[in-house]
Amino acid sequence: MTKAAPPKRLFIKTYGCQMNVYDSERMADVLRPLGYALTEEAEGADLVVLNTCHIREKAAEKVYSELGRLKEMKGRKAEAGGVMTIAVAGCVAQAEGEEIMIRQPAVDLVIGPQAYHQFPELIARVHRGRGERLSADFAAHEKFDALPTSRTVSGVTAFLTVQEGCDKFCTFCVVPYTRGGEYSRPAEAILAEAEQLAAQGVREVTLLGQNVNAYAGEGGLAGLVRRLAQIPGLSRIRYTTSHPRDMDEALIGAHGEIEALMPYLHLPVQSGSDKILRAMNRAHTAETYLRLIEKIRAARPDIALSGDFIVGFPGETDKDFEATLELVRAVGYASAFSFKYSRRPGTPASAMPGQVDEAVKEERLARLLDLLNEQQLDFNQAQVGRTLPILFEKAGRNPGQVVGRTPYLQPVHIEASTGLIGRIAPVTITAATRGSLTGALAPTPALEPA
Ligand code: 5AD
Ligand code: SF4
């Protein structure tokens, strides 16, 4: 018998959104048959992949500084007689292509988000010394058709991509250019993947898409959720990110009807000023967004709402910013993400007059964060005294602790055995901070079987 070759070490660093987290897992899947095993350390790895994000300037710049560090590691590995291959994947790869090669000669391969199924072939070409440079303009369906159908996961929760790309063209955003037009995976492929995940012990899936609620398969996203909810073992379903425009009646209704659909919704609004929303090409007003929230709350009164906000979009005055604060007060968010407007080359907003000073953006961001943080703490504190079903995900940092999540997505720490991992058990919440909750197992009802 021949002995198996030692595994080659693969290090993947993921930036940006959950879609990239999912893609990184799939990259590891396509590379596994080539003998690559994941490692936690870039130093000494045989293949390093940076799965990059281009959404804001800072995210893109981080990649170049990381590449500087990797260049040194590559040098050290070469001195020791080894080879480190460096690949840049993700949206910076798609947007900047060969420019990356020029700025950082240590990069061997640039591969865009639609081309991951080609990874093994490209790596082989690089190793044959051809220094391949890829311009990644594949269609999303080719990617999904060609990715291996089996997926290895270890956790209790998993991401599952159902849709990619965006046709909305918000004037600040690079996604329609880096991820291409909207594409929905066939429901059958998604269901098969979800069944596999459930068979591996996954209890919760988060359906991913840049515009996940624009899912265009039969029955739309609501229909898909309904079918996923039938899979034994799969107790919790979430989805992200949604556009207010695609929040249809069926999906709103689903929040009131499907038990497995968790009461949490990330529904970015970006601004509370109609003038700014128009300039952003958002296709909704503050008023229509608020009406939508009312409808959603009518269907599911306890739903936790989350959103994205941009401050300092071109032309934003103090009055426009005040309208954003007002909208936040009217909604009451359980969590949120806020950003300073970042000028992205090639997007319409980058050429708009009235670009806002950095200092003004800083100040507005701080004020918005104060309000959102206060709301988040309020939401968490309102859970104290309640008994909630908690899905336990992992051991806590301190011995004897396990961590799970509420239906509203807050982490909960309790003192209990790690035997709870993978189970849903009732927990009475005893304390809350802005970031997490503490609780104790409630005596009744009895634990459900695993
Ligand atoms: N500047 C700042 N924030 C941005 N986002 C997208 N593009 C930009 C940009 N150019 C934010 C939006 C979006 C989230 C994913 O990132 O709020 O919803
Ligand atoms: Fe970007 Fe707007 Fe599409 Fe979201 S909906 S990905 S913000 S263009």
Angle at the Cα of 432 from the Cα atoms of 385 and 301, rounded to 5 degrees: 60
387-441: CATH homologous superfamily?
Answer: Nucleic acid-binding proteins (2.40.50.140)
Q: For ligand 1, atom 6, which residue shows the shortest CA distance? A: 173
Ligand that comes closest to the CA of residue 54:
1
Ramachandran region, residue 346 (left: φ > 0; alpha: ψ -120 to 50; beta: rest): left
CA distance 265 to 207: 12
Residue 307 pLDDT? 96
DSSP reduced 3-state for 396: coil
End-to-end alpha-carbon separation of the chain, Å?
A: 41
CA distance 336 to 267: 10
Query: Mutate which of 20, 269, 308, 335 to test ligand 1's pocket (most atoms within 8 Å of Cβ)?
Result: 308
Q: For ligand 2, atom 5, which residue shows the shortest CA distance? A: 168
Q: Which two tokens stand for residue 274?
A: 């109609």
Place of tokens 């080359």: 345
Confirm if 228 and 192 have CB atoms less than 8 A apart: no
0.85 exceeded by pTM: yes
Residue 428 pLDDT? 98
Q: Which CATH class is domain 8-141?
A: alpha beta
Whether residue 239 has its Cβ less than 6 Å from ligand 1: no
Ramachandran region, residue 54 (left: φ > 0; alpha: ψ -120 to 50; beta: rest): alpha
Ligand that comes closest to the CA of residue 56:
1
Q: Tell which atom from ligand 2 comes closest to the C-alpha of 166.
A: 3
Whether residue 168 has its Cβ less than 6 Å from ligand 2: yes
Whether residue 173 has its Cβ less than 6 Å from ligand 2: yes
Confirm if 11 and 74 have CB atoms less than 8 A apart: no
Contacts of residue 430, Cβ cutoff 8 Å, sequence gap at least 6: 384, 438, 439, 440
Q: Which CATH number fits domain 153-381: 3.80.30.20, 3.20.20.60, 3.40.50.1000, 2.170.8.10?
A: 3.80.30.20
Strand order in the sheet with 47-52: 36-38, 8-14, 47-52, 85-89, 109-111
Extents of the domains making up the chain? 8-141, 153-381, 387-441
CA distance 140 to 193: 17
Burial class, 122, CB count within 10 angstroms (exposed 0-12 / middle 13-18 / buried 19+)? buried
CA 47 to centroid of ligand 1, rounded, Å: 31
DSSP structure string for 42-73: STT-SEEEEEE--SSHHHHHHHHHHHHHHHHH
- Whether omega before 241 lies within 30 degrees of 0, making that bond cis, reads yes
Q: What is the mean pLDDT of each run of 10 residues along the chain (450 residues)?
A: 76 94 93 93 96 90 94 95 94 87 90 86 79 56 72 88 94 92 94 95 96 95 98 97 96 98 98 98 98 98 97 98 98 97 95 97 98 98 98 94 97 96 97 97 66
Query: Mutate which of 211, 215, 240 to test ligand 2's pocket (most atoms within 8 Å of Cβ)?
Result: 211
Q: Which of 12, 40, 28 is nearest to 150 (CA)?
A: 28
Residue 178 pLDDT? 87
Residue 337 pLDDT? 96
* Bridge partners, residue 47, by sequence: 10, 85
